[in-house]
Amino acid sequence: MKMFDFNTKKGLTLIELLVVIVIVGVLAAIAVPIYSGYMERARRADAKTALEQIRGAQEMWRAERGCYARDGVDCQGNALAGTAEQKLQTTMGASPTVISPYYNWAFTVKTGTAFTARATPAGTQAADGWLEINQDGTKTDQAGFVYPDRKSKWSK
């Protein structure tokens, strides 16, 4: 009866282990940038959705009150507490920062009949460039492209 057979190999050699590590490293090097690109586009899609909701909320506010929501005043210029964002939350259902926390939001109401909403990327999204929508639904990006131009971030 044989107790130990030292001639049979069991386990991995160092070369086999290194080959597996290299393969995993190459796959990770390919997958991580692709995943990051998907995440950037998904966050941008959230911002575009929020901007569309802001535009819709502004239109509803104007239909009900005769002007777009502005910071600190009503349609007649009388003092009215709250920012435009706070006023629109009930119409939108949620604040834009809840919809997309990777962007900073700015509302500019030029007159009672003209407004602009801008989403400026922040944090991990900072390199993406801002997106903007106005009362007419004109969508522009930081590079100056206007949707439906295929180069516009609104198209991607």
pLDDT confidence tier of residue 97, bands split at 50, 70 and 90 = low
**For residues 71 and 83, is the Cβ–Cβ distance under 8 A?**
yes
27 phi, psi to nearest 5 deg: -60, -40
The structure tokens 């995440």 sit at 39
The residue range of the domain holding 112 is 16-155
**Is the Cβ–Cβ distance between 46 and 100 less than 8 Å?**
yes
pLDDT of 98 over the 70 cut: no
Cβ contacts of 108 within 8 Å, gap of 6 or more: 115, 116, 117, 118
| 7 found inside a domain | no
| CB contact set of 141 (below 8 Å; sequence gap of 6+) | 129, 130, 131, 132, 152, 153, 154
- Average pLDDT on 66-88 reads 78
Residue 9, domain member (yes or no): no
Average pLDDT over residues 27-44: 90
* CA 68/CA 52 separation, integer angstroms: 15
DSSP 52-68: HHHHHHHHHHHHHHSS-
| Residue 40 in domain | yes
Domain for residue 75, yes or no?
A: yes
Alpha carbons 117 and 2: distance in angstroms, whole number: 82
Query: For the residues 91-99, what does the mean pLDDT come to?
Result: 68
Mean pLDDT of the chain: 83
Q: Domain total for the chain? A: 1
Side-chain-side CA neighbours of 54 within 13 Å: the count stands at 35
